Amino acid sequence: MQMQLLKERILKDGLVEDGDILKVDSFLNHQIDIRLLEEIGKEFRHQFEGKEITKILTIEASGIAIACIAARHFNVPVVFAKKSKTLNISGEVYKTSVESFTHKSTNTIIVSKKFLLPEDKILIIDDFLANGKAVIGLSRLVEEAGATLVGAGVVIEKGFQPGGERIRSMGIDLHSLAIIDSMNPENGVIFRKE
């Protein structure tokens, strides 16, 4: 079920730009509406009700706030994949390449092996799903760790791009809170019918 509150906010404050870009930076991924994020976190908890989850995995930077609020509702820690190795990551890491639709770049993402364990049951959380590269990359890290991927939750799925279909065809339990069927600067956003 798509989240009505989120859909209303996208229609009110989202800006559609050329190149299939939906700017939601006024409430989701630059300036953050914490009340909306709280409802998003509750909805992810509802969508994955009854599933055993030990950690939430996301990718920096836009997914971190969403994952943290969701993790409050699951009472589990958040692990985020970094886009570059820093001095404070020591020891062995899992790593894979991920292409960003928005940034038009490829990053090597890394997670310390001490934070992804074979006994973990992982829920991936992210802000957008376009081509599915972030979720696929994160799922590769889970697989490499020998952990169990419980599912993936995204706030906004661009249903007219191949990511959702690609993720679902891999057998990943994907829940999107708002699915956009089309968008353009003249007509705005059209959501998929529930």
- pLDDT tens figures, 10-23: 999 999 988 888 99
Write down the pLDDT at residue 126: 96
Write down the pLDDT at residue 186: 82
Structural contact between residues 112 and 145, judged by C-beta atoms closer than 8 angstroms: no
Mean of the pLDDT values across residues 56-78? Answer: 95
- pLDDT tens figures, 105-156: 788 899 999 999 999 999 999 999 999 999 999 999 999 999 999 999 999 9
- The pTM of this model reads 0.92
Answer whether residue 180 shows pLDDT above 90.
yes
157's enclosing H/E stretch is: strand 148-158
- pLDDT tens figures, 74-93: 999 999 999 865 656 667 88
Q: Which amino acid is at 110?
A: I
Write down the pLDDT at residue 61: 81
Cα distances (angstroms) measured from residue 61 to each of 28, 46, 84, 193:
12, 24, 12, 30
Write down the pLDDT at residue 97: 85
Q: Who wins on pLDDT, 189 or 136?
A: 136
Write down the pLDDT at residue 190: 84
Residue from 106, 104, 47 nearest 74 by CA: 47
Cα end-to-end span (Å), the chain: 7
Write down the pLDDT at residue 70: 97
Number of domains in the chain: 1
Determine the Cα–Cα distance for residues 23 and 16; give it in Å rounded to an integer: 6
Q: 59: buried, middle or exposed (CB in 10 Å: 19+, 13-18, 0-12)?
A: buried
3-state secondary structure 25-53: CCCCCCCCCHHHHHHHHHHHHHHCCCCCC
Q: Which amino acid is at 147?
A: A
Answer whether residue 3 shows pLDDT above 80.
yes
Give the domain CATH number at 42.
3.40.50.2020
Domain that holds residue 173: 4-191
- pLDDT tens figures, 28-58: 988 999 999 999 999 999 999 999 999 999 9
